[in-house]
Amino acid sequence: MRKFKYFIDYDKEEKWLTEMAKKGYQLIDTSFGYKFRFTKPEEATIKIDYRTFKHQEDFIDYCTLFEDSGWQHIVGKKNSGPQYFKKIDKDSDDDIFSDKISKAGKYKRLSKMFIELAICFLPLFVAMIATEVIDLDIILNPKLLYLTPQLWDMNGELFWKAFIFETPFALLRALGSLFIPLCIASFLFISYRAQKLYKKNTN
C-alpha cells in the first residue's frame, strides 16, 4: 500500500508511523510516497534522524552504530536525508537522542539542506529569465496569459464564458514560467518551518 503525505515535524511523522505499525502496516520505502507492507500488527518504536553522507563508509558506520545499540535502520539512503529506525532491543532507551540539543539538530540540518537547495535553484532561475524561458511579465501580470482578443474588454456572461474556457490553457502556459519560482518558494518555506521547529525544540 502506498500513502502520500508530507511531514516537516518529525514527532508527528513518528507518531503516524507508530500508529500504522499498530494496524499492521510496516514501512518499507519512502522514495515515492510511503510504501507499506501488510504484516502482523506490532507495538513498534520508530524514530527519525535527518542526515546525508559524503562517503558510503560513513553511512555504513552510522547504520552500524545504531544497529549495535539496538536500533534497526529500516529506510533511508546515503543521500536521501530522513533515516528511519526501529527499536529492536527491548533494553535500549526509547529515543535515538539523549539530549534536547542533539534531538533538535536534525531540524537544523533539514533547514540548511533546503536553503542550499533554494540557493542552487537561484542561478537557474536567473538564467531562465535571461534566456526568456521564464517570462517575468507573466508572473507580474497574469492577464497576459490570456490570448483571446479583447477578452478584458468583454462584459457579463460573455466574459465569464471566454475566461473560464481559456483558464486551463492559461495555466498550462504559466506552468513553464512558474515551476522554478514555485520550487524555490516551497524550499524556502520548508527551510523556514524547519528553522522554527529547531527553535521550538531547543527552548
Partner 1 sequence: MNRDKDLPLTETTYYVLLALLEPAHGYLIMQKIEELSSQQVRVAAGTLYGAIENLLKAKLIQSVKSEDKRRKTYVITDKGKEILRLDFERMQHMISITKELLN
Shortest CB 62 distance to partner 1, Å: 6
Interface segment toward partner 1; rule CB under 8 A; list 30-38, 102-110, 128-136, 189-197:
102-110
Q: Residue 166 corresponds to which cell in the numbers above? A: 481559456
The phi and psi torsions of 181 (rounded to 5 degrees) equal -60, -35
Which range binds partner 1 by CB under 8 A, 88-96, 122-130, 169-177, 182-190?
88-96
- Select from 82, 103, 118, 191 the one that contacts partner 1 (CB under 8 A): 103
Instruction: Classify the C-alpha dihedral 47-87-74-20 as positive or negative.
Output: negative
Phi, psi of 25 (to 5 degrees): -95, 115
Nearer to partner 1, 69 or 141 (CB): 69
- Diameter over CA atoms, the chain: 75
Task: Return the number of the residue (35 or 78) whose C-beta is nearest partner 1.
Answer: 78
Strand arrangement of the beta sheet that strand 81-87 belongs to? 46-51, 81-87, 71-75
Distance CA 203, CA 23 (A): 34
Query: In the complex with partner 1, which residue's Cβ is closer, 57 or 153?
Result: 57
Which of residues 53 and 163 has its CB atom nearest to partner 1 in the complex?
53
Task: Specify the residue, 94 or 157, whose C-beta has the smaller distance to partner 1.
Answer: 94
**Member of 89, 95, 116, 137 binding partner 1 (CB under 8 A):** 95
DSSP 125-140: HHHHHHTTSS-HHHHH
Vertex 66: Cα angle to 94 and 87 (nearest 5): 35
How many chain residues touch partner 1 (CB under 8 A)? 24
Binding mask 43-82 for partner 1 (x = CB under 8 A): ----x-x-x-----xx-xxx-xxx-xx-x-----------
